Structure 1
Amino acid sequence: MAADLAHHAVSVLPIKIALIGALGIGAQWLAWRLQRPAIVLMAIAGLIFGPLIGWMLTGQFWPDIIRNFLETIRLNPVEDFGDVYRPMIGLAVAIILFEGGLTLRFKDLGDATRAVNRMVFIAAPIVWVAGAAAAHYIVGLPLDIAIMVGGLFVVTGPTVIMPLLRQAHLKSKPANVLKWEGIVNDPLGALFAVGGFEFIRLTQTGDPLVLVFGKLIFAAVLGTVIGIISGIGLASAFRRGLIPEYLKAPIVLAWVLFIYALANALADETGLLAVTALGMTMANTKFASMVEFRRFKENIAIILVSGVFVILTATLTPEVLRDMFTNWRVGAFVLVMMIFIRPIAVMLSTLWSGLTWREALLIGWIQPRGVVAVAVAGLFAAELQALGRPEGAEFVPLAFALVFASVLAAGFTIGPVAKLLGQSEGGGHGVMIVGANPWTLGLAKALKDMDVRVTMADTNWRRLRGARLEGLSTFYGEVLSENADYTMDHSAFNHIITATPNDAYNALVCVEFAPELGRHRVFQVAGQDKDDADGDGIAFTSRGRTLSSRGRSFDALTRDWWSGWRFRSTKISENYTMDDFYENRGEEVDIILLKKADGSLEFLQPGGQTRITEGTLLSFCAASDTTDQPRGQGAKVSEGLSGPASPLPG
Structure 2
Amino acid sequence: MNHLAEILALLVVVGIGAQWLGWRLQIPSIVLLALCGLVIGPVLGLLRPSEALGETYQPLIKLAVAAILFEGGLSLRLAELRQAASAVRRLVSVSVLLVLAFAALAAHLIAGLSWPVALIFGAIAVVTGPTVILPLLRQARLNRRPASVLKWEGIVNDPVGAVLVVVMFDYFVGAGAGQLGGTLLHLAAGVGVAVLLGGVGGWLLGRAFLAGLVAEYLKGPVALAAALGAYALSNLVLEEAGLIAATVMGIVLGNMNLPSIGELRRFKEDIAVILVSIVFLVLTADLDPAILSALDWRSLALIGAVIFLVRPAAVWLATLGTDMTWQERLLVGWIAPRGIVAAAVAGVFGPALAARGLAGAEQLLPLVFALILSTVVLHGFTLGWLARRLGLSASRRGGLIIAGATAWSSGLAVALHQQQVPVVVADNAWHRLRAARLAGVPVFFGELLSEQAEVSLELGAYGSLLAATGNDAYNALVCAHFAPELGRQQVFQLAEDEVSRARRPAPAARGRHALAAQVRYEDLQRHWYQGWGFHCTGITDAFAVERLRATLPPEAIPVLVIGPRKQVRLIEADKPWKAESGEQVLWFGCRDQCALPPEPAASAEKPRPLV
TM-score by length of 1: 0.70
Q: Describe the superposition over 1:323-343 as per-residue Cα deviations: whole angstroms up to 9, x where unpaired.
A: 35xx22332122112211222
- The residue that corresponds to 1:588 in the other structure is 555
Q: Which residue identity does 1:352 align to in structure 2?
A: G
**1:123 is aligned to 2:95:** yes
State the distance in 2 between where 1:219 and 1:274 align. 10
Alpha-carbon distance in 1 for matches of 2:361, 2:39: 24
Task: Give yes or no for contact 1:220–1:270 (8 Å, CA) kept in 2.
Answer: yes
Secondary structure at the counterpart of residue 401 of structure 2: strand
Alpha-carbon shift at residue 411 of structure 1 (Å): 3.7
From 60, 68, 83, the counterpart of 2:55: 83
Segment of structure 1 superposing worse, 91-100 or 372-381: 372-381
Q: 2:15 aligns with which of 24, 27, 35?
A: 24
In structure 2, how many angstroms separate the alpha carbons of the residues matched to 1:385 and 1:498?
Answer: 62
**Residue matched to 1:108:** 80
CA distance in 1, matches of 2:43, 2:125: 27
SS in 2 for 1:291: helix
CA distance in 2, matches of 1:282, 1:338: 35
Q: Distance in 1 between matches of 2:147 and 2:481?
A: 30
* 1:342 correspondence with 2:305: no
Are 2:167 and 1:193 aligned?
Answer: no
Q: Cα distance 1:354–1:242, how it changes in 2: closer, same or farther (>3 A)?
A: same
Alignment of 1:303 onto 2:274: yes
Q: Is the 8 A contact 2:291 2:365 kept in 1?
A: no
Output the amino acid matched with 1:413: T
Correspondence 1:45 to 2:36? yes
Query: Does the Cα contact within 8 Å between 1:101 and 1:276 map onto a contact in 2?
Result: yes
Equivalent position amino acid for 2:598 in 1? L
Match of 2:123 in 1: 151
Match of residue 212 from structure 2: 241
Q: How many residues align?
A: 549
1:560 aligns to what SS in structure 2? helix
Asked if the contact 1:612–1:640 (Cα under 8 Å) also holds between the matched residues in 2, the reply is no
Q: Which amino acid aligns with 2:242?
A: G
Q: Deviations over 1:383-441 (max 9, x none)?
A: 667888796664443333223322322343345544554556552674235x7697995
Taking the aligned partners of 1:456 and 1:393, their CA distance within structure 2 comes to 59
Partners of 1:410 and 1:197 in 2: how far apart? 27
Q: What is the deviation of 1:465? A: 4.2
How far apart are residue 642 of structure 1 and its match? Answer: 9.0
Amino-acid identity (%): 34
Distance across 1 between alignment mates of 2:120 and 2:289 = 25
Is the aligned partner of 1:214 residue 2:191? Answer: no
Any conservation in 1 of the 2:190–2:234 contact (CA below 8 Å)?
Answer: no
1:21–1:307: 8 Å Cα contact kept in structure 2? Answer: yes
Paired position in structure 2 for 1:5: none
Instruction: Supply the RMSD in Å over aligned alpha carbons.
Output: 4.8
1: CA distance between counterparts of 2:361 and 2:74? 30
The answer on 1:291 being equivalent to 2:249 is: no
CA distance in 1, matches of 2:586, 2:467: 17
1:275-306 per-position Cα deviation (integer Å, ceiling 9, x unaligned)? 22222221222333313421331222222221
The counterpart of 2:6, out of the listed 15, 38, 61, is: 15
Secondary structure of the equivalent of 2:93? helix
The 3 A distance-change label for structure 1 pair 322 and 474 is farther
The one-letter code sitting in structure 2 at the alignment partner of 1:493 is Y
Deviation at residue 161 of structure 1 after TM alignment? 4.4
Q: Is the 8 A contact 2:91 2:319 kept in 1?
A: yes
Which moved further from structure 2: 559-568 or 268-277?
559-568
Alpha-carbon distance, 1:319 to partner: 0.8
1:431 match: secondary structure: strand
**What is the distance in 2 between the residues matched to 1:446 and 1:158?**
40
Q: Partner of 1:537 in structure 2?
A: none
Aligned residue for 1:109, secondary structure, equals helix
Select 2:245's aligned residue among 259, 270, 274: 274
- Give yes or no for contact 1:447–1:453 (8 Å, CA) kept in 2: no
* Alpha-carbon offset, residue 509 of structure 1: 7.5
Shift of 1:239: 1.5
- 1:539-554 correspondence to structure 2 within 5 Å: 551-553=515-517
In 1, are the aligned partners of 2:170 and 2:183 still within 8 Å (CA)?
Answer: no
Q: Distance in 1 between matches of 2:191 and 2:482?
A: 49
State how 1:406-485 maps to structure 2 within 5 Å: 406-418=375-387, 420-421=389-390, 423=392, 426-427=395-396, 430-433=399-402, 442=410, 446=414, 450=418, 453-455=422-424, 465=428, 470=433, 471-472=443-444
Show the counterpart of 1:561.
524
CA drift at 1:245: 1.4
CA contact (8 A) 2:37 2:281 kept: yes
| Residues 256/423 of structure 1: CA separation in 2 closer, same or farther (3 Å cut) | closer
SS at match of 1:132: helix
Whether contact under 8 Å (2:396, 2:422) holds in the other structure is: no
* CA positional deviation for 1:249: 1.7
Question: Who is 1:71 aligned against?
Answer: none
| Pair 1:571–1:52, CA change in 2 (3 A) | closer
Question: Unaligned 5+ residue runs, structure 1?
Answer: 1-7, 55-73, 458-463, 479-483, 515-521, 529-543, 574-581, 630-637, 644-650
Work out whether residues 161 and 179 of structure 1, in 8 Å CA contact, stay in contact via their aligned partners in 2: no
- Residues 618-633 of structure 1 correspond to what in structure 2 (within 5 A)? 621-622=588-589
Alpha-carbon offset, residue 365 of structure 1: 2.3
> Which residue does the alignment assign to 2:223?
252
Q: 1:80 to 1:112 in 2, by over 3 A?
A: same
Does structure 1 retain, via aligned residues, the 8 Å contact 2:493–2:513?
A: yes
**Which amino acid counterpart does residue 126 of structure 1 have in structure 2?**
L
How many angstroms apart in 2 are the aligned matches of 1:255 and 1:510?
27
Matched to 2:8, the amino acid is I
Q: Which residue identity lines up with residue 325 of structure 2 in the other structure? A: T
SS in 2 for 1:135: helix
Aligned equivalents of 1:227 and 1:245: distance in 2? Answer: 22
Task: Give the 3 Å change call, closer, same or farther, for CA 323–92 of structure 1 in structure 2.
Answer: same
Change (3 A) 1:423 1:552: same
1:640 equivalent in alignment to 2:603 = no
Shift of 1:87: 2.0
Measure the CA separation in 2 of the matches of 1:468 and 1:275. Answer: 46
Q: 1:95 aligns with which of 47, 67, 85?
A: 67
Q: 1:356 to 1:289 in 2, by over 3 A?
A: closer
Deviations 1:6-57 (A, max 9, x none): xx95xx2222222222222222222222222121222222222222233xxx
Which amino acid counterpart does residue 136 of structure 1 have in structure 2? H
Secondary structure of the structure 2 residue equivalent to 1:153 = helix
What is the alpha-carbon distance in structure 2 between the residues aligned to residue 233 and residue 26 of structure 1?
A: 38
Aligned counterparts of 2:14 and 2:333: Cα–Cα separation in 1: 33
Aligned partners of 1:17 and 1:490: how far apart in 2? 36
- State the secondary structure of the residue aligned to 2:294: helix
Q: Which residue is equivalent to 1:64?
A: none
Residue-by-residue CA offset, 1:224-244 (whole Å, 9 max, x unaligned): 112212112211211111111
Q: Structure 2: which 5+ runs fail to align?
A: 434-442, 469-474, 497-510, 538-548, 601-611
Matched residue type, 1:31: G
- Contact 1:51–1:315 (8 Å) recurs in 2: yes
The alpha-carbon deviation at position 587 of structure 1 amounts to: 5.3
Provide the secondary structure at the position in 2 that maps to 1:641.
coil
Question: What is the one-letter code of the residue matched to 2:78?
Answer: F
2:502 aligns with none
Deviates more, 1:74-83 or 1:393-402: 393-402
Q: What's the TM-score once normalised by structure 2's chain length?
A: 0.74
How far 1:505 sits from its partner (Å)? Answer: 8.2
